[in-house]
Structure 1
Amino acid sequence: MDLTTAPSSATATASAAPLRVAVLLASNREGRFAPVVSDWFLSRTAGHPGIETDLVDLAELDLPIALSHRPGAEARAQLAAVSPRLAAADAFVVITPEYNHSYPAPLKNLIDWHHAEWQAKPVAFVSYGGVSGGLRAVEHLRQVFAELHTAGIRETVSFHNAGALFDEEGRHKDPSGCDAAAEALLDQLVWWGRALRDAKAVRPYGI
């Protein structure tokens, strides 16, 4: 008896499809530096084979505070603009600054409005800030996303004293180090994203 099993056509198709990555831009402050970082990161993903990105800019959302997992009509209407995008994603990258040793409140609000949308998907982090480069925000986020059954990517990209690193046109002045870090992050994200997507095609994730 032959115990080997060929992959189903559905699984093979899923494996070949581009990885859908939702890039969450966490800052919503006026005069924010966030677009410079997101533009840089998206220019890196543009050259990476097998990735499709969807930029979710929290400054464009107006979600009510997540006081309950049973939203009213107004909240449902606002969530309809973002929830399907999170559900469709195979993986996530969070681009975050550091506010008072942690991450922005609108990001926590977005996270708390959702549950199944995060589960069994990888999440990676790109951070920026002053001396710490936003890494304290990332460490807090790792705990939050672990509770939601995500797979945290070890590799990160962090920009210390970020404002001094880019020129007036948003180009990094010395990109070799951050380019290498982004490549390592994306390679891990793609591996985990494909592995988890293929696994869920065979057996739905359940807790």
Structure 2
Amino acid sequence: MSRRKDGGIEMVSKLPWQAGLVLGAAGYVAMRYGLAWCMTTFGGPTGQALGSSLDDGAYAPAAWLLLIACWLAALISYLDSRRRHRLLASQTGLRSLSAMDWREFEMLVGEAFRRQGYKVREIGLGGADGGIDLILHKDSATILVQCKQWRTKLVDVRVVREMYGLLMHHRADAVKIVAIGHYTDDAQRFVHGKPIELISGEALLAMVRECQAATRQPKHA
């Protein structure tokens, strides 16, 4: 499964936005003051000389760049989380599910699983997915997910066979295929006795509504 590697900002932006703020502040302090202290304390004569130059602010520009990069990633993460929240909250039925583009559909499915306690890794949103759009982790299990936003076309057995092959290749524990429509009879027969779940539009809508209800439910102290 070929996949473009994420850069530093992209990696941090996939963390909760609070983590990006903390990483930026900690990285700034470590680079701006921690390196000089470590070299002066443990580096001997050479380290003391280098530490003295760092005390003069030699690494200050790099420390500021690190802080700005992490906080930029935190902003991206925050805006992204707000978008996902609005996307999930705005769904009213199968028609609204069909109105999304494929990127939004993958984001919605990922957010629905995230609200169910899964750790979600988005593959398809980053480029070539090789048939896998999401990877879920929960209770030491790895689950591969493919999203099909076909409005009229039935998902046939060929798609299911391909995902089963990916399950065996990556030694995953299970597969979930999520579609707005339905699956052919052959596809439903193929998954019998296999760790493959076919999620139709009605089942996805039920997941979304469950997440919406949990969000609206008042929190008790």
TM-score, normalization: structure 1? 0.34
User: Radius of gyration: which is bigger?
Assistant: 2
Q: Looking at secondary structure, tell me which structure has more strand per residue.
A: 1
**TM-score (structure 2 length as normaliser):** 0.32
Task: Return the structure number with greater helix share.
Answer: 2
